[in-house]
Every structure is written in C-alpha cells, then in structure tokens.
Structure 1
C-alpha cells in the first residue's frame, strides 16, 4: 500500500508538471509576449478560469497600489484557497493517521500473513492468504487502502493552471515586481524559501511516526520538497509565490497533525484497545498446514487462534492498559 501511494503521488505531481508545461506552449505576439491559448481545452481554461482570476488579482492589487500589488494579490488568493482546503486536508490527515495507528496494533497478525504470502506456492494459496489479510482489516474496523490524499491536489489544479495562465498571458502581471522579485520569470530566492518550507514540513512529519516508519519514509519525504523545487524553477516567480505561501499553510497543518491530532488519536486508541482488544484472526499456527487453513471451515471464517501463540499481542495490550491506568 505504501508503494501504491508513492506511485499515485508521483503520477499526480508528474501530471501537474506536464499540465503546466503544456500551458506554457503557444505563439507570441510582436512584442515577444505569449499569446493567450485559443484551443478548446486551454482556451476554455484561459477564458473561464485565468481571465476571471486576472480580474480578481487586478481588483485586489488596486487596494495596495504601487509595484507590489500583484504579489500581495497572489499571496491573498493563496491563503484564502489554502484556508478553505485546510479542514478537508486535516480530515484526510486524521483518517490516514487513524489507519496507520490501527495498523501498528494489527502488526503482529499482519506480519504473520505477509510472511505466509511469501511462502504461498500456488495462486490458490495466495488467494487464501489474502482473504485472511482482508479479514484482519475488516474485523478490526479499518481498511487495507487508506485515503491517498490526492483530492486536495486535484481541487487545486484549476487554481494552479489559472494562476499560471494569468501570470503568463497578462503583460501587467508578468511585468510587475514584488519587493524586487520579477513575477514573470523564475526566481531562485523564492524557489529556495518555498523548498525549505516543505523540507521543514517533512522533518516535522517524521517526528510523529515510529522508527520503522521513519526508515520507510526517509526517501519519500524528499518528494514534496523536490517537486516544489522543480516546479518553482520551471515556473514564473508569481507561481513560486503560490508554492511559498502554500508551504507556510502546509507547515502549520503539519504542526497541528503531529503535535495535536496524532497524540489525541493515540490516546483515544489506547483507551479503546484496553476496552476492546483487537480481534485475533490469525496466529503463528494458523498456517502450519496450508491445506487445513483453507478447508478448516466452510463459512469463510478463520480457524480459532491458539491463545498460547498470542504473547506479543497480549503483551501489547498489557502495556496499553498499564499506560492507561497511569
């Protein structure tokens, strides 16, 4: 599941990169400025998304005046969009955290099933073992496929494209500056600051996971900062400001998740597990005889677990109860 999530995220950000690159292609006028697109897809996006966004940015800019108005407009639009999405993003993070914490409780059983999956000699055996995996999740009220967290990225895609086209095809916006930063061309300072914000967010995210998870996440933690760096380098600084301001919100979001939501979820799960220990579906003797495991029952239920083989789970429950009593 971790590999699936990784590849889905890579596919999403890669599609966004290609999408923005396609938006940048087009003819230029006599002054060398890009002409707005006229095709059905990008022309419609420019007409119905980018042009209204241009007008909104011009309206916001008029309140500030001077050369920095468009920069402030981009920051304000970014904060409004991100704050609207923040409850949805926090809800996704909460669901994902609950799923991860439940997976920790089920790890002794999942390890047994995963080890048996490697030993399964036939497709039939693999199907039988996979059914046990599904039952472990189902009977303990969780899912094998947690929320992938791509919804907020898809929601932001029209904002990305509209903002990109607004800057690229508006001589006023692309020709303006924000405290010395030219909004129409890439800027290394904006790129570095935006990237560092996502680096800090990734390190804070690691503080809320176990050592085993840290080892698995150390490679993927660089994905978001890396893609931010690439996007900012290939995009006008005006879009870089969107990533920079968004990075501030994402950093705040991660602080809330790591230091408020995650401890609260762990405390609640500890209390729940003391009252309702995990349902035991398999133990280390369940697959001693693969054929017996497959035919022991006819109603699809697993064989009864041997209580003497559940030491790791029992010990975990004792620790949770002792922690709760203290």
Structure 2
C-alpha cells in the first residue's frame, strides 16, 4: 500500500496499452480469415462481424470510401469512451494532489519503520498507511479506475480485427495509399503521433516522473511501428486517428482540470 503513487497509475496505463498491442500482434496470425456470418466464436459473431458490417455500411453511405469510414468509426468509438477517460484523468490528477499533501506524513511513517524488517513491523506500517489514507479520504486504487480499460478493450480489439478481416477494405484507396497494402510513410506518421501522445501525458509531470516513464513511453510507438510495417495501411490509419484524438483528449482534460 505504501508504494502506491501517481506513477503507479501511469505505469499501469502504459503497461495495459502494451498488453493490448502484444495481444493484437500475437493473435493476428490465428484470426486473419475473412469475417462472415459463419465465422465461429461468439466474439467474432457479436463484435468483429458487427464492426465489419458497420465499416462496410458506412463506407457504402460515404460513396465506397473505406478510409473515411474507418476514420469516422474510430472517432465515434473514442467519443463514446471519452467521458470515462476524462473522469479517470481527473481522478488521477486529484489523487496526485492529495498524495502531495500527505507525502510528509507518509515519509514520517516510512522513516519510523525504516530499519524494521520483521513481519509485525511491516503490518503495522501498512496499517498506519491505511489510516493515513482514510484520514484524508484517499483511495489510490479506486482513484485509478479500470472501468475505461474494461469498456474499451473488447471494442478496440474487435474493431482492429474487423479492419484486418474485412477483405473489401483492401481493394480501396484513401489519400495517397492503398488500404490493403503496407505504407511506410503512414506507418511513420502513426509512430510519431503515438510518441507525441505519450509526451502529452507527461505534461505537468516533475522531472523524476518523466525519467521514470521515459522507457514505457517508447514501447507503444515501437510496437505500433513493428505491427504496421507488416500490416495493411488501414491499421496505421486507425492508430493515427486514434492517437490524434487521445492527444486532444489529454489537452482537454488538462484544460478542464488544471493542476493546482
């Protein structure tokens, strides 16, 4: 309990994102067959197929523009999740402010038990930390909030596979690239956007926290680059739009709830 800090939240958030990307990378080879009504599995039938039909239906409405269809659906998903994400960001910022207030008392407790390594002393230290949190009405774990993660993961995973497994997408162009072919320039754009998205999350962090999260911030752009170099351009298009939205979402959150 005593080691819960605001860094734990950022580390958890980044790590969860990495797990999602690894999941997508590792499972894509086994799930690349075109999605149809006959595809087995409840997740394919209710989630992936639904998004695939949504992509095709919207593209048809937009004059067979599958690139624009992917952009619109990506923005729609992010907008739907945005209220939960903004609440999570607000809770995280409030938690950091409260942690800064109680930090002197936390340090006193740690100093008190610094040289005591027996189980009884550790238990007493945890009890005093818990009492300190209760005194200031602070619940670090609850403040992190995992609801946005639970909500968005099945949605984003399903949309990812819908893009990969909808063959109609590959036969269309968008801007300068073919949606079914790898595009190096778009891949670079996606990597840069996600790096900038990470830098946006670091705004307001003290130098020590920035240093601690520096390595974690490189993992997502690198993994996105690796996947995109071997994937149809529709995927880095989806990541680019999503990353740009996340940058705007982070800036909006800081505008609505500035650090005190």
User: Structure 2-normalised TM-score?
Assistant: 0.83
Q: How many angstroms apart in 2 are the aligned matches of 1:240 and 1:261?
A: 31
For the pair 1:103 / 2:99, whether they are aligned, the reply is: yes
1:187 maps to which residue? 183
2:121 maps to which residue? 125
2:225 maps to which residue? 229
Q: How many angstroms apart in 2 are the aligned matches of 1:85 and 1:15?
A: 17
Deviation at 1:91, TM superposition (A): 0.3
Give ranges in structure 1 of 5+ residues lacking alignment.
Answer: 28-33, 267-326
Matches within 5 A, 1:162-241: 162-241=158-237
- Bigger shift: residues 103-112 or 164-173: 164-173
Q: Is the 8 A contact 2:172 2:180 kept in 1?
A: yes
Matched residues, number: 254
Q: How many angstroms apart in 1 are the aligned matches of 2:12 and 2:20?
A: 12
Q: Is the 8 A contact 2:187 2:228 kept in 1?
A: yes
Pair 1:202–1:51, CA change in 2 (3 A) = closer
Q: RCO higher in 1 or 2 (8 Å CA, sep ≥ 6)?
A: 2
1:61 maps to which residue? 59
User: Structure 1-normalised TM-score?
Assistant: 0.68
Give ranges in structure 2 of 5+ residues lacking alignment.
Answer: none
Deviation at 1:62, TM superposition (A): 1.9
1:48 maps to which residue? 46
Q: How many angstroms apart in 2 are the aligned matches of 1:162 and 1:249?
A: 19
Indicate the structure (1 or 2) with the bigger Cα radius of gyration: 1
Pair 1:39–1:179, CA change in 2 (3 A) = closer
- Bigger shift: residues 252-261 or 76-85: 252-261
Deviations 1:190-226 (A, max 9, x none): 2222222222233233231233433333333334434
Identify which of 11, 14, 26 aligns with 1:21. Answer: 26
- Bigger shift: residues 203-212 or 90-99: 203-212
Deviations 1:249-268 (A, max 9, x none): 111111123344123xx2xx
Deviation at 1:102, TM superposition (A): 0.7
Deviation at 1:146, TM superposition (A): 4.8
Pair 1:168–1:137, CA change in 2 (3 A) = same
